[in-house]
Structure 1
Amino acid sequence: MSAGKTVPWWAKAAGGAVLVAVALVAAVRLSLLPSLDDVLGEKERDRSGPALLESIQDISRYEAATGNFQVVVDLEKDTKYVPDSLRGTRTLYVGAGTVDAYVDMGGLAKEDVTVNEARTAASIKLPHAALGKPALDPDRSYTVSKQRGIFDRLGDFFSDNPNNEQAVQKLATKHIASAAKDSRLTTTAEQNTTRMLEGLLRSLGFTNIRVTYGA
């Protein structure tokens, strides 16, 4: 083609169509290839061994009530004569968990249950309801914020267990246990146990039922 000669319009159109076709083919090929995230992304593999049964316990408890608790833990650790910016931590943690209240029926003696000859009246003496151990819910518990001094950050960097939250979790469990003791959870558990036994014995033909709680 000589210099200064214009390119016909149909040649420009054909060239544009070729470029569009090439771009579409390249796009299709790229879509079929694995993405960068697929190539460099992390994969999670569970290499845990099977769970082993260590022991079996007979359960004689009647789980009569469950309390749901939430506590905000504000734990601060300081070092004397050292600024907080260098050494010290402060963690704000929301701990959510449950506490069960139960009545243990495994220690009932023969004299604790009396029935009249007509089998219409029954008297049952049970121990007072007790509280189980608090159980933190990991799905509802979380760290709101954590402030650390420079030395603490360096310690977490070289530690095998950085950002250890064991201290705030123990403190949250302690506060939840204290709140459960101050609640009416055991009273509710005894009321629920009484209603359960009354319903059971009435279905067996008893009309006069007395349930008491003692030491």
Structure 2
Amino acid sequence: MAHQLLESDTRRWTGRLRRRRSPLKLIAAVAALAIALPLGAQFAGLFPALSATFAPQTVDRGPAPLLTALTDISEYHAATGAFQVLVDIERDTPHVPALISGERTTLFATGHVDATVDFSGLGPDRVTASADQRAVTFTLPAARLAPATLDPAATRVVGRDRGIVERLAGIINNNPVRDEELYRLAARKLDESARQSDLVARAETNTRDMLTSLARSLGYEQVTVTFGDPV
């Protein structure tokens, strides 16, 4: 009987000890965690280089977005030239004095001509980068001249002499002057002046400078820009 009581008491005390031991383990674990976190932070602070060594890194190995930057530019206006020409046209009737029949008109024309480079055909075959992404080459068509545009505010007739016959004809037809041909001739002379200038060469220089600046801003060190033969 005594043995049974002793066993029963032992079980009761064992149960109590076990029930008391669980909170102690939990408190000890929390305390250990509270101590470990500051120590870990101090350890990382003492060795920042070591912590950075194991930090995740993202490396972009794709090519620089040169074509993306040029996608919206189909025609690059690389240079603009302003030109002035004087058009002097005289029409006379053989063996008739100019006072009777004849006409002479002088037009002072000012216009602008744009030099453009076509970017619409740019693609991987025209923009090639080296394997190490340090050099890039652009192959472009030659710059071309757009048709001249007359400036109406700076274009005017500075002289007009008409014979009696031409004046009467203008009154009868209710059309005193017809200067369309005069303006077309002025535009053609402006185009010729632009072709004889260095506008095309300047446009290619400006295009080369623009592409070089763009490529270097994207990390390329060597930039080559070539142009095709003029059409």
Q: Taking structure 1 as the reference length, what is the TM-score of the superposition? A: 0.70
Letter of the 1:62 partner, please give it.
Answer: Y
SS of 1:139 mapped into structure 2 = helix
Does residue 199 of structure 2 align to residue 194 of structure 1?
Answer: no
Distance 2:204 2:163 in 1: 50
- Say if 2:177 is the partner of 1:163: yes
Give ranges in structure 1 of 5+ residues lacking alignment. 1-57
| Secondary structure class of the residue paired with 1:111 | coil
What TM-score results when the alignment is normalised by the length of structure 2? 0.65
Separation in 1, partners of 2:102, 2:95 = 11
The DSSP-based 3-state class of the residue aligned with 1:172 is: helix
Worse-superposed segment, 193-202 or 108-117: 108-117
Residue in 1 aligned with 2:225?
Answer: 211
Partners of 1:120 and 1:102 in 2: CA distance: 28
Which residue of structure 2 aligns with residue 96 of structure 1? Answer: 110
Runs of 4+ in 1 over 6 A off after TM superposition: none
Aligned twin of 1:83: 97
Give 2:76's match in structure 1, choosing from 57, 62, 87.
Answer: 62
Q: Deviations over 1:101-149 (max 9, x none)?
A: 0001112353221111221110011111000000000000011110001
Q: What residue is the counterpart of 1:150 in the other structure?
A: 164
Deviations 1:167-191 (A, max 9, x none): 2211111111111000000000000
**Deviation for aligned residue 1:214:** 1.1
Name the one with the larger helix percent: 2
Aligned partners of 2:176 and 2:124: how far apart in 1? 56
Q: Which amino acid aligns with 1:155?
A: A
Report the residue type matching 2:91 in the other structure: K
Q: Which residue of 2 aligns with 1:140?
A: 154
Larger Rg: 2
CA deviation vs aligned residue, 1:73-105 (integer Å, no higher than 9, x gap): 111011223221122110111000000000011
TM-fit CA distance, 1:155: 1.5
Contact 2:77 2:115 in 1 (8 A): yes
SS state of the match for residue 186, structure 2? helix
- Aligned-partner Cα distance in 2 for 1:152–1:133: 33
Task: Give 1:113's aligned residue.
Answer: 127
Q: Which amino acid aligns with 2:79?
A: A
Identity of aligned residues (%): 42
Equivalent residues, number: 158
Matching residue's letter, 1:114: T
Name the CA distance, whole Å, in 2 between partners of 1:135 and 1:179: 13
1:180 pairs, out of 194, 202, 207, with 194
